[in-house]
Structure 1
Amino acid sequence: MRHPYEKFIRLELLFIIVAVIVGIIALLKGFAFVIIIALYMIAFSMLSGAIVEWHTHQTNQAGKHFLQAILLFIFATYMIFHL
């Protein structure tokens, strides 16, 4: 039997893997904009984890991860406008 929130768990893992690959490429090539895209992917990964935790009634952890994702999203957006 599959986990009811397996789609969100796989989405979280996919965002983490892609963020690592994109981050390594961006650091090697020196592209700041690609680093910001990796930050967005990390934020979306944290948001996916927060959704899973919210539905499994771990509201404290979900709230913490949701706030971290929002702050990371705001920080990355701020960096776009100041590049």
Structure 2
Amino acid sequence: MKHPYQRFFQLQVLMMILTVIFGIISLVKGSMLLALLTCFTLALSFAFEGMVEFKKQNTFPFAQQLLRAVIIIIFVSFLYFK
């Protein structure tokens, strides 16, 4: 029997793996675009973790993770496009 939040957990793990891969590549190549993509995948990882907490009916951890994701997206976008 699959848990109702198993898909979100799998997406969270996928985003963490992509974050590590993109982070290593951006450090090696020195690409700002890949660094931006790294931060966005990290934010998506936090968002998916928040969705898992939402499915578990834990509203405070859900709000924390979603707020982290939004802050990362706003802050990194501001730094990149400024």
Answer whether TM exceeds 0.5 for this pair.
yes
1:61 and 2:61 are equivalent in the alignment: yes
Which runs of 5 or more structure 1 residues have no equivalent in the other structure? none
Alignment length (residue pairs): 82
Deviations 1:6-35 (A, max 9, x none): 111100100010010000010111111110
2:31 maps to 1:11: no
How far 1:81 sits from its partner (Å)? 0.8
Q: Which runs of 5+ in 2 are unaligned?
A: none
Query: TM-score, normalized by length of structure 2?
Result: 0.94
Letter in 2 for 1:44: L
* Identity over aligned pairs, percent: 32
- Compute the TM-score of the two structures, normalised by the length of structure 1: 0.93
Structure 2 match to 1:77: 77
Which amino acid letter does the alignment assign opposite residue 51 of structure 1? M
| SS of residue paired to 2:2 | coil
Considering only aligned residues, what root-mean-square deviation do their CA atoms show, in Å?
0.8
